[in-house]
Amino acid sequence: MAAVSFASAIQRHHPCPEMTVSGATLLEALEEVFSSHPALRSYILDDQGKLRTHVAIFIDGEQVQDQERQSDPIAESAKIHVIQALSGG
């Protein structure tokens, strides 16, 4: 099963321990997380289901490519890291 962890900046707003999830795509993995932590959905995804601009997700160290549908494939042993993206000048 894939492991999903959330950065401390996100956990300040929505406490969520690391979880192991199943699923063949990032969206399937996220849906499993959201089923246990429903308040995370609106923090991670916008009203159209796209990743919010302040969120970055990495699968085994590679940033996800499909921010609209989260269709990136995940391996059973994947490490998924959800972080709050930084911006500024």
Q: How is the chain split into domains, by residue range?
A: 2-84
Contacts 24+ apart (CB under 8 A), 29-38: 29/2, 29/4, 29/74, 29/80, 30/4, 30/70, 33/4
- For the cut 80, the answer to whether the pLDDT of residue 86 exceeds it is no
Position 62 confidence tier, pLDDT thresholds 50, 70, 90: very high
Q: Which CATH architecture has domain 2-84?
A: Roll (3.10)
In this prediction the pTM is 0.92
